[in-house]
Every structure is written in structure tokens, then in C-alpha cells.
Amino acid sequence: MSIDLAFDRQHIWHPYTSMIDPLPVYPVVAAEGCELMLENGQRLVDGTASWWSAVHGYRHPVLDQAVTYQLGQMAHVMFGGITHPQAVTLCQQLLAITPPALNKVFLADSGSIAVEVAIKMALQYWQGIGHRQKTELISLRKGYHGDTFAAMAVCDPVDSMHSMFSKLLPQHHFLPAPDSPYHSEFRPESLKPLQQLLEQRHQYIAALILEPIVQGYGGMRFYHPDYLAGCRALCDEFDVLLIADEIATGFGRTGSLFACEQAKITADILCLGKALTGGYMTMAATLCTDQVALGVSQSEAGGLMHGPTFMANPLACAVANASIGLIRTGDWQAQVAAIETQLKAELAPCQASPLVKEVRVLGAIGVLEMHHPVDVAKLQQHFVGDGVWIRPFNRLIYLMPPYIISEEQISRLCWSMRRAVGV
């Protein structure tokens, strides 16, 4: 079946794209391993793992089998008043790999919804224990947490794609973006803004929400683990909840299973998504402590006020169980470490380009930050011409490939990035 690109351009909205002059799209008809296959037969090495989710690559036999098996049982059943084996097993697996204090699980249907649920948990918790005035949130500049309204309200209010909605969103507190880079010496004074805000407003603040260690769509910024540890300590001191958005960083992307591990901290509420299902299905999870769950359950509503139609979808749960099984039994740590070593070596020459402001690598993430915003359509054409799929945005050209990627495939991606910046 051929793809009608003219119809697509005229009628179909793609992410963050104008309908007046949409960005070009490329017709993918199949995917396998770390490659996408275009309609014309060309193969592209995927450098983004389908927005960071397909960590095991495409058409993995274990994941394919999990979906096929579950289709023979049931594709979906409502979760209100019903449970099913795949959901129970998934929650058992999540509790086995996350910190012991996090032992209540809400299975949502996207990363943004996981953040919405986390915010509801925080607000209902304080209502439930008699602190109804604690309704304010703290977030970080350069932070990104999703495209739904509560999530947008804790994204950077100025330097983000959501600034046009600022007058419609709840107004929260924003701290300066962490300014102690991951590979540099930690600057304790970077915690001063948080300390000062909590001293002034802690009785009204419900939670601090942040992306641990890596700020994703806000600029692919890597910050020092001691900043995260300091945030945890200040939240404890001033009785404020900590929400960790690990939707992008969870399941090994930064080199540890969860980025919070690098600061040796546990959040009160944890959001997971993207790689949860290995990129096969849309699914997310929000975990919380017993303390938070008890407070929510004591609130006026009597329970957590959220319930998506496709919550705990059996197909998604089945493939998530298989994906976590691959993580738990596989060699992802060595794979991510090898990717990091190769990206450091092969992207380093890009620092010599006058177009490049900074090259940075952490785990299976490689970033070229440019001095100026890139021409996405032009760069995309260059990459496809080189047989790779790299999706730049704003001032960033980056890689977050599947963990199973080969050395040769990484080299091809890095070669094309070096050509793009003229080195």
C-alpha cells in the first residue's frame, strides 16, 4: 500500500507543525532492529529510538510475542472494578525495580497524563491531611513535563513551546535552571533560590517537580547529581513533596536504571513512561509512597480522582512486562556504557565547528548544542540522504538510540552529524 503524501500534507497534523507550511514527512513502511524502512526501500539507522522509547529496537521477538499472546486473550478491558494478570504482574515488576518506599502504582496512558496524575496526587495529599492551603508548585526553568494543561503549567513558562498559553495556565514558581553541569564541580549556591523560596512560601507549596539529572526538551541539559540531592534535602526540611519526572530518563538511559539513583535519593512521586513498553504501546505509570497514598485516600474525594478509559490496557501491560523483563535480564548497562564511550569519541571533533556551542554526552545521549536554531527541514533532508534518522529541534542535534545499536550504526550516525556541522 503506497502512502498518499499529498493527502498527509493537506489533512494530517504532525507534532508541533503548521498546517500552512508543514515540515516534510518521510514515509516509513516497516522497522526492524535499529532501522526504519522507507517506502522507496531505503533504510535509515534510527538515532532517536522513536522519541527515546524503543530501547530494545523494533520487531524484538520477545516483545512481538508478548503482544501476540495477549491479543489471543483480550486486547482491552476497563480497569474500573476489574483487574487482570498483566496489570498485576506489571505493578509487581515495577515495585521490584524501583525504591522500596514507592509501593503504590497508577497505570496511566501517556507521559503527560502520568504528570497530571502526579500533580493531582500531590494536591489531594495535602487536602487529605488538612493542609488545603498547599496548592502551589515549584518547577525549574528549562524544564519540560508534557503537553496537557497541568503539565504545561510546570514547563518553562517563557523558553518553551507553551509560552502562548501562559495566561490560561495556573501560575507556579520557577527556579533558575541548574547551573552546575554534570561533569563539573558542584556549586552549592545553585540551591539558594530553592532554599529562599521554601523559607518564604513552604506553607503554601505542595511539591517540587523536576526531571532528574537530564532536562530533555528544555535543552538536553545534564546537571550535577548533588543538585538533585540538595533538592531532596530541602523538600524534606520544609515539608514539601518531590515529584521526579523520569519519563525520559527511566530504564537506563543515563547509565543508571533510574536517574534518581545517581543522587541516591527517592522521590515521593515518580513518573515513568516512554521506554516502559519498549516503544510498542502508549503507557505510563505514576508511583508514590504509602504516605502519599494514605493522604490522597483521606481527602474529601475519598480516592484519587483520575481514571483514563485505557488505564492498564492489557496489551500495553503485556508488552511492558516483556520490556521490563528484557531490562532485568539483559545487558543494558554494558550497552549504554559502550554507547557513551563511542559517542564521546566520535562526536568530540564537532566541538571544533564554529557552528557548535557545546558537545555533551551522558549515558546513551549525545548532544550537539548549536549557537543558533537549526533549519529542521534542511537538516532532516541531509540526514535521510546519509541513511540515518536524526530529528533535531531548536538549537539541538542529538542522539538517543536504541540500546541494541551496533558500533557500525553509531559510527554512521556520528559521521552524518559531523558532516552536518562541517567537520
Active site residues: 16, 144, 245, 274
DSSP percent split of the chain into helix, strand, coil, nearest 5: 40, 20, 40
Cell triple for residue 249? Answer: 530518563
Q: Are 173 and 195 in contact (CB under 8 A)?
A: no
Cell triple for residue 345? Answer: 569519541
Residue 321 phi, psi (nearest 5) = -60, -40
Q: Which residues contact 130 (CB under 8 A, 6 or more apart)?
A: none
Q: Among candidates 323, 350, 335, which has minimal Cα distance to 410?
A: 335
Place of cell 510498542: 280
The CA–CA distances, whole Å, from 41 to 28, 30, 62, 381 equal 9, 10, 26, 16
**DSSP conformation letters of 7-47:** HHHHH---TT--SSSPPP---EEEEEBTEEEETTS-EEEES
Q: Which residues contact 45 (CB under 8 A, 6 or more apart)?
A: 34, 35, 387, 388, 389, 405, 409, 412, 413
**DSSP conformation letters of 82-109:** ---HHHHHHHHHHHHHS-TTEEEEEEES
φ/ψ bin of 12: left (φ > 0), alpha (ψ from -120 to 50), beta (otherwise): beta
Q: Among candidates 263, 179, 264, which has minimal Cα distance to 225?
A: 263
Q: Which residues contact 167 (CB under 8 A, 6 or more apart)?
A: none
Helix pair angle (61-71, 314-329), 10° resolution? 150
Query: Which residues, in sequence order, are bridge partners of residue 138?
Result: 173, 208
